[in-house]
Each structure stands twice: as C-alpha cells, then as structure tokens.
Amino acid sequence: MNAFSYVRPTSEAEALRALAEPGAVALAGGTTLVDLMRLDVMRPARVVDLGGLPLDRIDAKTGGISIGALASNTAVADHPEIRARFPVLAEAIDAGASGQIRNMASVGGNLLQRTRCSYFRDLASPCNKRSPGAGCAAFDGYTRMHAVVGGSQNCIAVNPSDMCVALLALDAVVRIKSATGERAIPMSELHVTPDDRPNIETTLKPGELITAVELRDAPFAKRSRYVKVRDRASFAFALASAAVALDIEGTAIKAARVALGGVATKPWREQRVEQALVGKRPTQQTFDAAAKLALADAAPRPDNAFKVALARRVIARALALAGGVS
Amino acid sequence: MKPAIGAPIDRVDAQRKVTGTATYAADTPVTRVAHAVIVTSAIGKGSLRALDIDAARRAPGVLAVLAHGNAPRVKADRTSGGPNERVLQLLQDDWIHYADQPIAVVVADTLERAQGAASLIVPRYETAAVVASLEQSLPTAFEPKAMVHGAPDSSRGSFDIGLAAAKHVVDATYETPNENHNPMEPHATIAVWTGSDRLTLYDATQGIFGVRQRIAEVFGIPKEQVRVIDQFVGGGFGCKGTPWSHVALCAMAAKVVNRPVKLAVTRQQMFSLVGHRPHTSQHIQLGADPEGKLTAIRHAVISETSSFDEFVEPSAMQTRMLYACPNVITTQRLVRVDAPTPTFQRAPGESSGTFAIESAMDELAYKVGIDPIELRLRNYAERDEQENKPFSSKSLRECYQQAAAKFGWNRRTPKPRSMRDGHELVGYGMATATYPANQWPAGARATYRPADGTYLVQAGTQDLGTGTYTIMTQIAADALGVPIERVRFELGDTAFPEAPVSGGSTTASTVGPAVKDACTMLRAKLAALTPADRAVGQAVVAEAKSEVSPERKKFATHAFGADFVEVRIDEDLGMIRVARVVAAFAAGKILNPKTANNQFVGGIVWGIGMALEEDTVRDRRTGRVVTRDLADYHVPVHADVPAIDVIQVDEVDTVVNSLGTKGIGEIGITGITAAIANAVFHATGTRVRALPITLDKIA
C-alpha cells in the first residue's frame, strides 16, 4: 500500500471540494478500494472518506423509493418496502458476497465495484485497465470467469456486481452531484464497455459523487426475480446470473425486463429477449424460446464458451420463477 | 473413576481459542519487533538481470533490503536429508525457478512501511520459456530416486496374463489438479537472535524439531542453540510439515537488522511459497472375470514436481493392498514443471489415489452389472497381498454394512439418471476410504508438582487444531489415575522431549504411547516414595521415549472406512450440491469421540472441496497462479456442507501400539471424492474423471 492523504468531510460541499482534487478517490464501505489498495492495484494520492455524510437514508414514497448512496447493501436487501416492491433487488444483493461484506458495502460503492479479473488483481500481469496500453493478459490466458460479450481484445473483464444487474432491469436512475451541479442518468448509461479504453468504466466525470439511486414503481417491478449460478452455494461470483421482471396482464406478457450478470463487461440488458416476450403467453415454451435469443453477439474464449448456453438457461429459469410457471 | 479415554470431553484449549487468548506464532508479543515482507518474482523462469532497491532502501522506516547481491551467504540451502527436504530459495543467486519465488526481503519498523517500500523495488528479468503443466512434459517422465512412503513401483503376478483373462475391462485416466492447502492461519515466523549464534523462532509449523534441524543447518550453528516454539497452529494439512524459505529469510533478516523480526506470508504468497498438492494423471486398468472378481489391476501415476526437487504424490500406494487380486502393477513417475516444489497435502497419495481407483471400481461395477458394494465384497482383501501379511485388524465389511444401512443405499435404483426430484437429478455414490496406521518414536516428560498436587506433562509435539492437547490430557489422566482437571499438557517447544512432525495421522499413535509411558513411570515413582521423601515436597519427574514394537512389522496396519453420498444436480443449470453424507470409519481405539468426529467430518468437508471446487490454475504462458486468493480458489462455505453423519465403528487392535489407535486425521478425505464423482455419474450419466467436478464438465 502506498502512502496517501486522508480526509473525512462532514458536509456534501466539503466532500465535493475534496473529490475535485487531483488523484482523489471516494471511500465508502471500502470493500473494493481497501482490498485493491492492499494489492497496490489502486494507489490513490488522496482518500476522501464519505463516512461522515448523511447519505444512508432509504426513503420509501408513493411511486418509488430513493436509496442513499451510503445505505449498506444489507439495509437495502432487508428493507421491507424494497423486498415487496422490488424483490429482484433484494434477491440480487442477497446473492452477492457474504453477510459481513454486505454489511460494509454501500450502494454507491457497489455501483462502482471493480472487476475481479485475476490478471487485473496481479501486478505482475499486463492489464490495460490498470495501466492503459500495457496489454491484456486475460485475452489469451485463463478465461473461465471472463466476459463472453461486451469485451474487446483490450479487455474481457467481467463486471462482478449482482446489485447492478437488478438495478438495470428495474430502470433505476442514478443521482450524481459535483461542485458545479447535479444530474441524473439512467442505470443503462452509467457503465461503459471497455472498447479501446478499459480504464474508463463509467460515465462519471472526475469529482462527481453518486448521492442516491432512485427506483420507480412499475407493474413489472413487483414480479421480478434474480437467479445466479456459481461454483459454490454462496460467497462466489456469478458464472451467469439473470435479473428479470414481467408485467403480465390477463394471459399475456405486457412488458419484460431481462438483464445478465457474470457474462459481460458491464451489466448487460437483453432487449431482444424482452421484445420476444411481449404479447406472448407466460409459458415455459415462451420463456425458453425467448431466452435462446440472448447473447446473440457472444464472442466467448475457449475456457468460457459454456457460459453462453448457461446464461440462456438461467434466463429461462428466472422467467419461469417470475412468471409463476416453475 | 471412569476412564477419560473414550469420553467425548470438550477441548481443553477451547476457551482460550474462543476468547482470543491462544497465542499463535505471529501473535507472540516480542519487544522491538521489526516487520519483514517478501518480494517475489513476476516471471516463472529465468534470471534477475537487475534489481533496483535504492528507492526502497531510502523509504521511511526501512531497516534493510536483502537481495541476492547483498544477502548474507548461508551454509546450506539444500540438505542431503530425506526425500521430503527441499532446496530453499534464500537470495543466494539470481536464478528464478518458479513464479512468485522470493527475490528480496524488506525490513522496516512497521508492516505498512515494509509493504510500501517493497512496492518500490524494480526488478528486470531475463525470461526463459516456462513448462507450466504436466501435459507438456509427459514424454520426459522419470522414476523418482526415493519416496517417503515406500518404493515407487510394485508388482505381483502377471498383469498381462490377468488382463488377457478378463471378461470386463476398465481402462481410464483420472486427473487431480494442483491444490493449495490454505490453512486459516497463514505461515508466519518471528525470529529473535541472542548474540550471534543463539536463535529463538516462534513459527507456525507442524514440526518444531524439523524446523530446528533445518534452520541450524542453514546458519551453521548447533541445533541445540535453536529453540522453536509453536503452541497453537491454525491448521497445517501438510504445508507446515517442513520449513520453507520464509523461515530462514526471517531469521536472516533478524540477523542483519540486529533486532527481532516478524514475517507473515500473505494469502497470495501461500500459493507459491509453502508447497501444494501436485497435479496427477493416473492411468488405471482393471480386469475382472464374469462375476466381477478382479484378475488384473494396473495403477500408473504421473505427478508433477519442480525443476529442482523431487516430491512424489504417492497415489498408487493403497492400490497395492486394497483388493484381492493376483496380478497387480503400480508405478509412480514424475515430470518436471516450472513450479514450486509440491509437498504433502492431507492424505498425500490416498486422497488423490482413492479418487482414481474407487472411480474405476464404480465403472467396473456398471460393466459387470452388480452393486458397487457387492463388487467390493467379492474382491475383499483378507490380507495385504502385496506385503503378504495379515492385517492387524480390518473392519471394512462392518463399515460398508453400517453406513449403507444408515444411508438407505437400498433405495438406489442403479441406472444413471433414474432418480429425480423436480428440477433435480438425484445421484447416490459410494467409495472405500483407507489410510495407513503409522507410528514413529517420540518422547514425553511428566512432572508431579506437590505444591498444588497437579501434574505437568510435556512433549515437543504440535496441536494443529486436531485436539492433541485434549487427547494427551486424557491419556495422561488415565495413566496417572487422576481426573483430567489435575493434568496440564504442554506442547510446541523444542525445550520439551523430542517428538516428530505432526503428519501422517500419527500424533495420537506416536506421542500418545510416550505420554502414557511417562505417566505410568511417574505414577510408579510416586508410589515408591517414602513418607520422608514426600515431606521434602520436591517435584518428581519421569521421562519416557516410546518405540515402535517389532511385532508391528509382522502385520499390515491400515484404517478403513466407507463413504455414501447423495448429490442433487439442477438439470438445467448444472449446479451440483452434496445433499448428505453418511460415512463409517474403523480406525482402532477412538480416544475422544467428539474430537474424532470433528476430524472425520473435517476430512469429508475437505473432500467436498477437492471433489467440486479446489483448483490451483497456473497460466500456461507464465506459470503464475491465476487463482491466487480465496475468492478465486474455492473451498467449501457453510452452504456447501450438508448433514454429515459419521459412524465410528468399534475396533480393537492390540498390534498397532499400546493405545490401539490407528490415526484419524486423514482417512476422512480419502474415498469421499470418488463417492461424490460416482454419485454425479449416477445422477447424470456423465463420468467426470478430472477434478474438480464443476458444472461446465457435466453440461
């Protein structure tokens, strides 16, 4: 770990000023940042500890729920209104990490969770994400855990978050502040694919701070499920996961949301699958046929080719659970 | 008074452990202790062209930076000792044998400053091509010079004739991957020099006397001037069986900075600095007559070793005696790869070897068309046919019967994919477990303290978390004829009578008899005291050294068991879950059923990990371990561990040693991987012959 300066602001304005300094990083739960600092993968000059800011409120209103960026993952997953109105979010969080980590990890931090690519985490391996232009050790390396979609020759690292997959399926909105103002972006516009700049992972600008995530009630949100397949029963990253949500009216699917985790360089929306579901009867045949349309553009590596078929089966299972046909 | 032996008493050290007052090596308070960190190589083979340590040297708090240009020369980085000793990497030259080999040591006043300075070291390498895996070097397989466990090869009868006569043949190759032990407590050492030639080491080790011997050789000082202390070990499993480079590097650093130094191996370094179970490829051929009686067995093992040492994973050993068969060949060969030297890992040989032979027996049962238990009973070995000796005791039939009954094996329909429950395919599998019952010589000392009427019993052994403190207290109390509350047992100090490494499931059978003898002698001494002697109130001491009885040599001594497993596999998603395990073990006298159950269950949990999860993956281009932390290297979490029901089968053995114990530390991890693999086949119809059985292999 490098030597760094540390500040713990007590107001948002003070935090935004500190984050605008060169080399500043925000510290929330620390479950990613401290881990990567210990490995020397991240060597920030300044650490801005957000722990003193009052940003942990979960505010359930008519029409939606606003989640403060510093609310813990546990607090979100355990919140009765979230469990009732956005079950996929609670299920996704519960499927991630361990109880201890979920207690520490924040919602804002989870949005910015960094990849678990083992080459990224090993300083002796070249990594474009860690040092742009160095090359990608993963592409021709051991790729069992890597992305089958959304990657490039420069980076095939998976976005490891479960929570983000659910937020994407729920059309969540991310609220952002900076010293110069405020903005809100849809979840689908937060993360970017690596392309030729794997070091750029989000559309956040330097000095910006995520303050909240907003969920709006929607008919599909209540009928939403998360299914995650991994190498052991708990405390493991996804080989493939799916967050799905269905609005079923009468005997037909009126709207659908499908997002994938564990297979892509960012939380991955599957609109082709969604479109194939709309207007159909919610049967296993419908779900299986729609799920087969997922990952049409997949470009797997030799070790992870199994993920393509697996992800499709995970979607089908999640849809069956959400649609009540299982 | 009821005997303490055989009672399920709580661990005598439990309270210290759960209250955090048990002192593990790195916890030992030492004044003015400095902190050392090891810098390791990025490349997997080659040489150091240059190593820029100037910035690290100038960093705040740094006391020394050791590298091959400036590190003190040692007397010996290799020993002429047995096959379990290995070359240490002590900064003596610029050659790199494996990825993450030590290339420098940074010592600073705080750990953080040592780590910070270490990140400033800039190596430049001359890189050579790496041979990273067994497949690449198969043509160069060679016979090992020596093995700890016996001769590399065995042969009886004529395999070719036996195979030619067979009606049914199984011919298959089974593979087990590289696996790292990863005990909860990483290796750690604190080195304290007194003057230039007296050294005290607080070291996380399974063998304090082995550390003393090796470190004395490295520094060229008499072993009596090295004292090694380790009162609690947070798991060993073999990787703490012999001293590795970091122990000597810590002592070297302490000498250079002239103050005590602490060095803890990081979790990432646990994958390169302290050994691993090597990748094995095991070719098995079985021949059987129409009834399933074995006519021929061949078990040919190839395992990886490093470019500079020989270590054999002796996976064929149990095959020599497990079944009755007139024609048996076993061979063990090595291939060299650019990796660290492998080492003993829990049931070295028997864990990986029973996966192969017991999977093959399951395949044979399907070919013959009989129940896998019946196949094993038809080939039941009444004596060790290789050694041509009777077993000192063997209760394997009882293990099969009792475990099968409790499991409900008769509910199994033999056809693969014939049992299901909703989305889940259900599979039942079974296998035989076995591990040799060994004994080595050991010493112990017992002291009566008249001041408070208590007994202090000491032996230079170790408690790896297995319960040594507890069972030795029980043995001592019975031999002395006093309640356990009046006995205090101490271990983990080379100032105590010498005992061997805690390995090979031998501690109860090795140290136990010595403790029993010392306490029996002390009791006799106390009985002989005159009233005048007693009035003086002096401590009374007795010391014993136990030996292995010549009688043992006439017998084959092994523990046996049987594992029965139910797996459930999501048919669409492939997720494999061990739903329940029933196992029966016959391992001689059980000293404490509670700590014994813990050992058996712990072995089975390890087996679940070995069967389904554990895999040390090396990058084939660089030889670097890719699965280098506990997020990427999976071991079972609680949710992976089902109800595990262990039956302790009564067994009396008057040959193995004076306590009748066979050792229980390792048998739990044998057989279980094959039982799981056999259950996966029964559930899915897919035979996975390469561990771990991950869902992509059954898709």
Chain A 175-214, CB below 8 Å of chain B: which residues? none
Q: Is residue B359 predicted with pLDDT exceeding 80?
A: yes
Residue B76 has pLDDT above 90, yes or no: no
Cα–Cα dist B340/B320, whole Å: 29
Asked if residue B127 lies in contact with residue B45, where contact means CB atoms within 8 angstroms, the answer is yes
| Residue in B613, B626, B634 nearest the CB of A118 | B626
Residue B83 pLDDT level (bands cut at 50, 70, 90)? low
- The strands making up B34-40's β-sheet, listed across from edge to edge, are B62-67, B102-108, B34-40, B261-264, B188-194, B198-203, B226-229
Predicted pLDDT of residue B79: 62
Measure B334 CA to nearest chain A CA, in Å: 25
Instruction: For residue A185, give every residue at least 6 positions away whose Cβ sits within 8 Å of its Cβ, in sequence order, or none.
Output: A173, A174, A176, A203
Confidence tier at B86 by pLDDT (50, 70, 90): confident
Query: Cβ contacts (< 8 Å) between B621 and chain A: which residues?
Result: 140-141
Alpha carbon distance B83, B649 (integer Å) = 35
Residue A48 C-alpha, separation from nearest chain B C-alpha, in angstroms:
20
Task: State the pTM of this model.
Answer: 0.98
Q: Give chain A's end-to-end CA distance (angstroms, integer).
A: 50
Query: What is the identity of the amino acid at B521?
Result: M
Q: What residue has token string 């799905």?
A: A244
Closest Cβ–Cβ partner in B112, B572, B621 for A317: B572
Give Cα separations from B438 to B68, B169, B237, B354, B482 (angstroms). 42, 34, 17, 19, 29
pLDDT digits (tens, 9 = 90+) for A97-144: 999 999 999 999 999 999 999 999 999 999 999 999 999 999 999 999
- B116 → closest Cβ in A3, A229, A233: A3
pLDDT at residue A175 is higher than 60: yes
**Are B401 and B329 within 8 A, CB to CB?**
no
pLDDT-derived band of residue B136, with 50, 70 and 90 as boundaries?
A: confident
Residue A169's nearest CA partner among A204, A220, A214, A211 is A220
Decide the pairing of beta strands B294-305 and B188-194: unpaired
Strands (E) in B507-607, as ranges, are 540-546, 558-570, 576-586
pLDDT of residue B82: 56
Verify whether the Cβ–Cβ distance B116 to A1 is below 8 Å: yes
Q: Does B111 contact chain A (CB < 8 Å)? A: no
| Percentage of residues of chain B with pLDDT beyond 90 | 95
Residues of A in contact with B573 (CB under 8 A): 227, 229, 310, 313-314, 317
> What 3 state SS string does B262-290 have?
EEECCCCHHHCCCCCECCEEEEEEEEECC
**Could you give the strand order of the β-sheet that contains B294-305, starting from the edge strand earlier in sequence?**
B154-156, B328-336, B294-305, B280-288, B168-176
B255-276: per-residue pLDDT in tens?
A: 999 999 999 999 999 999 999 9
Determine the angle formed by the axes of helices B350-368 and B593-612, rounding to 10 degrees.
Answer: 70
Q: Which residues contact A270 (CB under 8 A, 6 or more apart)?
A: A258, A259, A260, A293, A294, A295, A315
Q: Measured between CB atoms, does A134 come within 8 Å of chain B?
A: no
DSSP string, B368-427: HTS-HHHHHHHTB-SEETTTTEEBS---HHHHHHHHHHHHTGGG---STT--EETTEEEE
Q: Which of A225, A298, A222 has its CA nearest to residue A259?
A: A225
- Contact between residue B336 and residue B97 where contact means Cβ atoms under 8 Å apart: no
**Taking CA atoms, what residue in B is nearest to A141?**
B619
The whole-number average pLDDT for the span A30-46 is: 96
Residue A302 at interface with chain B, using a CB cutoff of 8 Å: no
Record: contact A141-B621, CB cut-off 8 A: yes
- Spatial separation of the C-alpha atoms in residues B161 and A67, rounded to whole Å: 76
Give the C-alpha separation, A93 to A303, whole Å. 27
Rounded CA separation A154/B413 (Å)? 52
Contacts of A326 in chain B (CB under 8 A): 423
The C-alpha atoms of residue A314 and residue A240 are separated, in whole angstroms, by: 7
Q: What is the pLDDT of residues B584-640, one digit of tens each?
A: 999 999 999 999 999 999 999 999 999 999 999 999 999 999 999 999 999 999 999
Burial of A166 (0-12, 13-18, 19+ CB in 10 A): buried
**Which of the residues of B are catalytic?**
666
Contact list, B695 vs chain A (CB under 8 Å): 229, 231, 239, 306, 310
Res. B135 pLDDT band, cuts 50 70 90:
confident
Count how many residues are written for chain B.
699
| Calpha distance B67→B46 (Å, rounded) | 16
Q: For position B224, what pLDDT does the model report?
A: 98
Chain A residues touching residue B575 (CB < 8 angstroms): 229-230, 233
What is the strand order of the sheet A58-61 is part of?
A58-61, A64-68, A209-216, A173-178, A181-186
Q: Report the relative pairing of strands B643-648 and B576-586 from DSSP bridges.
A: parallel
B5 falls in which pLDDT band (50, 70, 90)?
Answer: very high
For residue B240, what are the contacts with CB-CB under 8 A and spacing of at least 6?
Answer: B183, B187, B204, B205, B206, B207, B233, B274, B464
Is 90 exceeded by the pLDDT of residue B101? yes
Of A40, A231, A313, the CB nearest to B119: A40
Tell me if A231 and B694 make a contact (CB, 8 A cut-off): yes
**The pair of three-digit structure tokens given for residue B238, joined into one six-digit string:** 């073999």
**Cα–Cα distance for residue pair A188/A40, rounded to 1 Å:** 30
Measure in Å the smallest separation between the Cα of B76 and chain A Cα atoms: 30
B443: Cα separation from own chain's centroid: 23
Give the residue among B104, B122, B94 at the shortest CA–CA distance from B38: B104
Output the 3-class SS for B190-203: EEEEECCCEEEEEE
For the segment A48-63, the average pLDDT, to the nearest whole number, is 97
Kindly report the nearest CA distance between residue A138 and chain B, in angstroms: 10
Of B110, B123, B147, B244, give the one whose Cα is nearest residue B189.
B244
Q: Which residues of B touch A121 (CB under 8 A)?
A: 628-629
In this predicted model, what pLDDT tens digit does every residue of B385-438 receive, in sequence order? Answer: 999 999 999 999 999 999 999 999 999 999 999 999 999 999 999 999 999 999
CA angle B489, B537, B442 (to 5 degrees): 30
Which chain A positions have a beta carbon within 8 Å of B574's beta carbon?
229, 310
- pLDDT of res. B84: 57
Joined tokens for residue A277? 């579901």
The answer, yes or no, to whether residue B80 has pLDDT greater than 60, is no
**The predicted structure's pLDDT at residue B139:** 87
Q: What residue in A sits closest to B422 (Cα-Cα)?
A: A326
Does the pLDDT of residue B15 top 70, yes or no?
Answer: yes
Instruction: Tell me the backbone φ, ψ of residue B258, rounded to 5 degrees.
Output: 60, 40
Whole-number mean pLDDT of chain B? 96
CB-closest option in B42, B574, B637 to A232: B637
Contact B640 A316 (CB under 8 A): no
pLDDT digits (tens, 9 = 90+) for B470-503: 999 999 999 999 999 999 999 999 999 999 999 9
**Confidence band, pLDDT 50/70/90 cuts, at residue B517:** very high
> Which distant-in-sequence residues (6+ apart) come within 8 Å of A14 by Cβ?
none
B170 pLDDT above the threshold of 70: yes
Which of A122, A228, A315 has the highest number of chain B CBs within 10 A, making it the mutation to test binding with B?
A122
Distances (CA, A) of B637 to A231, A241, B613: 11, 20, 11
Instruction: Indicate if the pLDDT at residue B148 is higher than 90.
Output: no
The shortest CB-CB distance from B577 to any of A121, A122, A233 is to A233
Per-residue pLDDT band at A326 (split at 50, 70, 90): low
- Whether the CB of A6 is below 8 Å from some CB of chain B: the reply is no
| CA dist., res. B639 & res. B632, Å (int) | 17
Q: Within 10 Å of residue B416's Cβ, how many Cβ atoms?
A: 17
3-class secondary structure, A134: coil
Kindly state whether A116 is in contact with chain B, defined as any CB-CB distance less than 8 angstroms: yes
- In the block, which residue shows the tokens 């990490």? A97
Interface residue A292 vs chain B (CB under 8 A): no
For residue B72, the tally of other CB atoms under 10 A from its CB is: 13
